[in-house]
Amino acid sequence: MSSTTMQPQAETAGSQPKLARQFVSFSFYQVDPQWRKLQKQEREQGKKEVEQVIKRFVDEKKCQVLTYSTVGMRGDADFLLWIISYELEPIQELTTAIAATPMGAYLTRPHSFLAQTKRSMYLDKINPEHQEDRVHIIPGKYKYFFVYPFLKKREWYLLPMEERQKMMDEHIRIGVKYPSVKLNTTYSFGLDDQEFVVAFETDAPSDFLDLVQELRESKGSLFTLRDTPIITCIAMNTKEMLDSLGG
Q: Tell me: the pLDDT tens digits for 153-186?
A: 999 999 999 999 999 999 999 999 999 999 999 9
Confidence label for 135 from pLDDT (cuts 50, 70 and 90): confident
Confidence label for 120 from pLDDT (cuts 50, 70 and 90): confident
Q: Are 186 and 24 in contact (CB under 8 A)?
A: yes
Q: What is the pLDDT of residue 68?
A: 98
Q: Are 212 and 204 in contact (CB under 8 A)?
A: no
User: Could you give the CA distance from residue 43 to residue 4 in angstroms, rounded to a whole number?
Assistant: 27
User: Could you give the CA distance from residue 117 to residue 73 in angstroms, rounded to a whole number?
Assistant: 27
pTM over 0.75: yes
What fold, for 148-231? Alpha-Beta Plaits (3.30.70)
Q: What is the pLDDT of residue 119?
A: 86
Measured between alpha carbons, how far apart are the two ends of the chain, in Å?
Answer: 19
Sequence-separated (6 or more) residues with CB below 8 Å from residue 177:
211, 214
Higher pLDDT, 181 or 130: 181
User: Could you give the CA distance from residue 99 to residue 62 in angstroms, rounded to a whole number?
Assistant: 18
Asked if residue 97 has pLDDT above 80, the reply is yes
Confidence label for 139 from pLDDT (cuts 50, 70 and 90): confident
Q: What is the mean pLDDT of the chain?
A: 90
- Nearest C-alpha neighbor of 149 from the set 63, 227, 32, 235: 227
Sequence-separated (6 or more) residues with CB below 8 Å from residue 3:
58, 64, 65, 66, 139, 140
Confidence label for 133 from pLDDT (cuts 50, 70 and 90): low
